[in-house]
């Protein structure tokens, strides 16, 4: 509880410090072929401006070995995990770290969270306004941090995508090895409702 | 016993017994034997040619296969799948050939 409160304070402060208003949304990378990856169009006249949205980012480690288990996963993402279980081949979902990030529409921010095997991950994304109920998450990127504290550099992105998200919704973004790896990095992004 | 008697009878009544072949006949038989040998030699040459050709083709095919194996296989591309579970949870999954935790 203390950790989450601290993370909220730290992350919110960091997000405000790192948020960079953008005059135009950056185009999604060419590798993303999904419709969600297309460059975000300009906001509609009715889209809210200068509205902030609080996001929860949860990092899980999925493994195929061992008995089926969900360890220390926050309650508010229980349903998403239950849904994912039916589709993904992983048996064990282990909570690694979580953080909160408040972003104003039209800005971007980043979080640094713990990862698997003492690796840290930088989670970076932008928020573009759509309508009252949902926003466009652009360039959602998860990159490992390498090197010592203070001299860290970001590695190649393990996750890079763009998508829409509704208030209160949890989107599961994950990555695993092509051809059936036994481990997966799973990131749950929740747009916390009414915050 | 019957074979011995038959041989003896044939020898007794052999029309060519005690005769020698005429010079023309000798030449004709010799020519026939030699030409037969020459034909056999040609046959051997053709067989050898086919065998060599087959060997060359086999070696070429083997070399081509080795070259194909040695060439780097095309790298599988990173793929991304978007889907929604019946429960409504949206999943965006990246399948990365270079993924490692």
pLDDT at A98: 95
CA A102 to chain centre: 12
Q: Which residues of B touch A33 (CB under 8 A)?
A: 80
Closest CA–CA distance from residue B89 to any residue of chain A (Å): 6
Residue A173 touches partner B, C-beta closer than 8 Å:
yes
Q: Which residues of B touch A177 (CB under 8 A)?
A: 95-97, 99-100
Residue A162: both structure tokens together? 């763009």
Three-state SS letters, chain B: CHHHHHHHHHHHCCCCCCCCCCHHHHHHHHHHHHHHHHHHHHHHHHHHHHHHHHHHHHHHHHHHHHHHHHCCCCCCCCEEEEEECCCCCEEEEEEECCCCC
Contact call for residues A140 and A34 (beta carbons, < 8 A):
no
Say how far apart CA A37 and CA A35 lie, in whole Å.
Answer: 5
pLDDT at A97: 94
pLDDT at A73: 86
Query: With an 8 Å Cβ cutoff, are B92 and A161 in contact?
Result: yes
pLDDT at A164: 93
Closest CA–CA distance from residue B58 to any residue of chain A (Å): 35
Q: Which residues of B touch A117 (CB under 8 A)?
A: 101
pLDDT at A37: 33
Closest CA–CA distance from residue A20 to any residue of chain B (Å): 26
C-alpha triplet A10, A16, A21: angle, nearest 5°: 155
Q: Measured between CB atoms, which of B83, B89, B99 is closest to A175?
A: B99
Say how far apart CA A19 and CA A38 lie, in whole Å.
Answer: 22
pLDDT at A48: 54
Closest CA–CA distance from residue A153 to any residue of chain B (Å): 16
- Per residue in B38-80, pLDDT (tens digit) is 777 667 788 888 999 999 999 989 988 888 777 777 777 888 9
Q: Measured between CB atoms, which of B78, B85, B95 is closest to A87?
A: B85
Which ipTM value was assigned to this complex?
Answer: 0.72
Contact call for residues A102 and A52 (beta carbons, < 8 A):
yes
Say how far apart CA A24 and CA A1 lie, in whole Å.
Answer: 38
pLDDT at A188: 96
Three-state SS letters, A126-179: EEEECCCCEEEEEEEEEEEEECCCCCCEECCCCEEEEEEEECCCEEEEEEEECC
Residue B94: what are its φ and ψ, rounded to 5°?
Answer: -100, 130
Say how far apart CA B82 and CA A52 lie, in whole Å.
Answer: 27
Full-model pTM: 0.61
Residue B86 touches partner A, C-beta closer than 8 Å:
yes
As a whole number, the mean pLDDT across chain B is: 85
Query: Within 10 A of A138 (CB to CB), how many other CB atoms are there?
Result: 23
pLDDT at A170: 95
pLDDT at A195: 60
Closest CA–CA distance from residue B82 to any residue of chain A (Å): 8
**Local confidence pLDDT in tens for the 195 residues of chain A:** 444 443 443 344 344 334 433 333 333 333 333 333 333 344 444 555 568 899 999 999 999 888 888 888 888 888 899 998 888 889 999 999 999 999 998 999 999 999 888 889 999 999 998 777 789 999 999 999 987 777 788 888 999 999 999 999 999 999 998 776 789 999 999 999 876
**Helix/strand/coil for A33:** coil
Interface of B with A in 12-41 (CB under 8 A): none
Say how far apart CA A145 and CA A8 lie, in whole Å.
Answer: 21
Residue A145 touches partner B, C-beta closer than 8 Å:
no
A135 closest CA partner among A157, A113, A102, A111: A102
A58 closest CA partner among A35, A42, A43, A75: A75
**Helix/strand/coil for A17:** helix
Identify the residue among A85, A120, A137, A174 best suited for mutation to test binding to B, counting B beta carbons within 10 A and taking the highest.
Answer: A174
Q: Rounded mean pLDDT of B11-31?
A: 85
């Amino acid at each position: 509880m203390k950790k989450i409160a601290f993370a909220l304070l730290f992350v919110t402060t960091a997000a405000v410090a790192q948020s960079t208003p953008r005059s135009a949304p950056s185009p999604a990378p060419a590798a993303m072929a999904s419709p969600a990856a297309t460059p975000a169009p300009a906001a509609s006249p009715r889209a809210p401006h200068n509205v902030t949205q609080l996001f929860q980012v949860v990092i899980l480690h999925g493994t195929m070995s061992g008995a089926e288990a969900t360890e220390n996963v926050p309650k508010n993402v229980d349903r998403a995990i239950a849904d994912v279980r039916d589709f993904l081949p992983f048996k064990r979902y282990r909570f690694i770290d979580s953080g909160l990030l408040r972003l104003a529409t039209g800005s971007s921010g980043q979080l640094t969270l713990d990862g698997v095997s003492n690796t840290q991950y930088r989670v970076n994304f932008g928020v573009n306004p759509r309508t009252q109920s949902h926003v466009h998450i652009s360039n959602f990127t998860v990159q490992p941090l390498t090197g010592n504290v203070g001299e860290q550099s970001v590695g190649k992105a393990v996750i890079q995508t763009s998508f829409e998200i509704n208030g209160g919704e949890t989107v599961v973004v994950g990555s695993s090895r092509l051809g059936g790896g036994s481990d997966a990095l799973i990131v749950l992004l929740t747009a916390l409702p009414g915050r | 016993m019957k074979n011995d008697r038959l041989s003896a009878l044939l020898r007794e009544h052999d029309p060519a017994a005690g005769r020698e072949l005429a010079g023309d006949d000798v030449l004709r038989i010799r020519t026939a034997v030699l030409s037969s040998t020459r034909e056999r030699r040609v046959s051997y040459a053709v067989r050898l040619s086919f065998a060599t050709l087959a060997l060359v083709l086999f070696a070429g095919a083997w070399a081509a296969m080795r070259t194909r194996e040695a060439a780097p296989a095309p790298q599988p591309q990173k793929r991304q799948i978007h889907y929604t579970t019946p429960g409504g949870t949206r999943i965006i999954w990246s399948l990365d050939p270079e993924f490692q935790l």
